[in-house]
Structure 1
Amino acid sequence: MDSNTNKEVLTDLSPLIKLYKDGTVERLLNSPHIRPSPLGPNAGVFSKDINISPVVQARIYLPVPEVTEPNRKLPLLVYYHGGGFCVESAFSFLNHRYINILAAEAKALIISVEYRLAPEHPLPVAYEDSWSALQWVASHVIANTSIKKDPWLTEHGDFGKIYIGGDSAGGNIAHNILVRAGTEPLPGDVKILGGFLSHPHFWGSKPIGSEAKQDIEESLLCRIWLFVYPSVHGGIDNPMVNPFADDAPSLSGLGCSRLLVCLAEEDVLTERGFHYVESVKKSGWNGEVQMVVVRGGTRN
Structure 2
Amino acid sequence: MSGSGDAAPPPHVVEDFFGVIQLLSDGSVVRADDAALLAMPMPELQDVPGVQWKDAVYDATHGLRVRVFKPAAAAAGDDGGKLPVLVYFHGGGYCIGALDQSPFHTFCLRAADELPAVVLSVQYRLAPEHRLPTAIDDGAAFFSWLRGAGSADPWLAESAELARTFISGVSAGANLAHHVAVRVASGRQPVVDDVDPVVRVAGYVLLDAFFGGVERTAAEANPPADVSLLTVEMADQFWRLALPAGATRDHPVANPFGPESPSLEAVALPPALVVASGGDVLYDRVVGYAARLKEMGKAVELVEFEGAQHGFSVIQPWSPETSEVIQVLKRFVHRRYAQLRVEKDKAKLSGIISTLVYFQFQHLCFVWVIKVFVKYPLSKNKKYKSVCLRLRCARLPCSLLQVIFLFEWGWFEHFIQFPFYGAYIAGWTSYPGILFPAESSH
TM bin (shorter chain): 0.7 to 0.9
| Whole-angstrom CA distance in 2 between matches of 1:247 and 1:253 | 17
1:191 equivalent among 193, 197, 200: 200
Q: Is residue 294 of structure 1 aligned with residue 305 of structure 2?
A: yes
> Higher Cα Rg: structure 1 or 2?
2
Tell me how far apart the structure 2 counterparts of residues 253 and 52 of structure 1 sit (CA, whole Å).
31
- Do the aligned residues in 1 keep the contact of 2:21 with 2:29 (CA within 8 Å)? no
Q: 1:44 aligns with which of 21, 41, 50?
A: 50
Alignment partner, residue 222 of structure 1:
236
Query: 3-state DSSP class of the match of 2:152?
Result: coil
| 1:30 Cα offset (Å) | 5.1
- 1:72 and 1:174 map into 2 onto residues whose CA distance is 27
Describe the SS at the equivalent of 2:265.
helix
Closer, same or farther: CA 264–210 of 1 in aligned 2, 3 Å: closer
Aligned pairs for 1:10-159 (under 5 A) are: 10-14=14-18, 17-19=21-23, 23-28=29-34, 29=37, 40=47, 42-54=48-60, 55=62, 56-67=64-75, 71-139=80-148, 149-159=152-162
Q: CA deviation at 1:253?
A: 4.3
Question: Taking structure 1 as reference, are residues 120 and 68 closer, same or farther at Cα in structure 2, changes over 3 Å only?
Answer: same
Structure 2 residue 166 is the aligned partner of structure 1 residue 163: yes
Query: What letter matches 2:32 in structure 1?
Result: E
| CA RMSD between the two structures | 2.8
Q: CA deviation at 1:8?
A: 6.0
Q: CA deviation at 1:192?
A: 1.0
Counterpart AA for 1:115:
Y
Quote how far apart the aligned CAs of 1:219 are: 2.8
Q: Which 5+ residue runs of structure 1 have no aligned equivalent?
A: 1-6, 141-146
1:26-53, Cα deviation, whole Å (9 max, x unpaired): 2442566977x8xx3x352100000001
Residue 240 (1) aligns with residue 253 (2): yes
Separation of aligned partners in 2, 1:248 and 1:130: 20
**What is the CA–CA distance in structure 1 between the aligned matches of 2:80 and 2:265, rounded to whole Å?**
37
Aligned equivalent of 1:173, options 176, 179, 183:
176
8 Å contact from structure 1 (residues 86, 119) kept in 2: yes
Q: CA deviation at 1:20?
A: 5.4
**How far apart in 2 are the matches of 1:122 and 1:210?**
27
Pick 1 or 2: higher relative contact order, CA cutoff 8 A, min separation 6.
Answer: 1
User: 2:294 pairs with 277, 281, 291, which one?
Assistant: 281
Q: Does the C-alpha gap of structure 1 residues 208 and 283 become closer, same or farther in structure 2, counting only changes over 3 Å?
A: farther
| Residues 1:109 and 1:131: Cα distance change in structure 2 (over 3 Å) | same
- Give me the TM-score of the superposition, normalised by structure 1: 0.83
Q: 1:79 deviation in Å?
A: 0.8
- Cα contact 2:250–2:260 (8 A) shared by 1: no
Contact 1:167–1:198 (Cα < 8 Å) also in 2: yes
Alignment gaps of 5+ in structure 2: 1-10, 194-198, 224-231, 313-442
Deviations 1:45-103 (A, max 9, x none): 10000000112211000012324779311001111100011111111111111110111
Identify which range, 66-75 or 186-195, moves more after superposition: 66-75
What displacement does 1:106 show?
A: 0.8
Q: Which has the higher strand share?
A: 1
Match of 1:204 in 2: 213
Return the TM-score normalized by structure 2.
0.58
Seen in structure 2, the aligned counterparts of structure 1 residues 170 and 180 have a Cα distance that, compared at 3 Å, is same
Matches of 1:33 and 1:296 in 2, distance apart? Answer: 24
> Number of aligned pairs?
278
CA drift of 1:187 comes to 3.4
* Partner of residue 3, structure 1: none
Instruction: Indicate conservation of the 8 Å contact 1:139/1:187, yes or no.
Output: no
CA contact (8 A) 1:103 1:109 kept: yes
State the secondary structure of the residue aligned to 2:252: coil
2:273 to 260, 265, 290: 260
- Post-superposition shift, 1:255? 4.7
Partner Cα separation in structure 1 for residue 208 and residue 304 of structure 2: 10
Is the Cα contact below 8 Å between 2:57 and 2:65 reproduced in 1?
yes
Distance 1:209 1:52, change over 3 A: same
**Aligned pair in 2 of structure 1 residues 117, 127: CA closer, same or farther (>3 Å)?**
same
Query: Is the Cα–Cα contact under 8 Å of residues 78 and 134 in structure 1 kept in the other structure?
Result: no
> Which residue is 1:144 aligned to?
none
2:220 and 2:282 in contact (8 A); partners too: no
Name the aligned partner's letter for residue 176 of structure 2: I
Which segment is superposed worse, 177-186 or 55-64? 177-186
Matched, 1:182 2:185: yes
**Partner Cα distance (2:222, 2:264) in 1:** 25
Distance 1:205 1:75 in 2: 38
Amino acid at match of 1:65: A
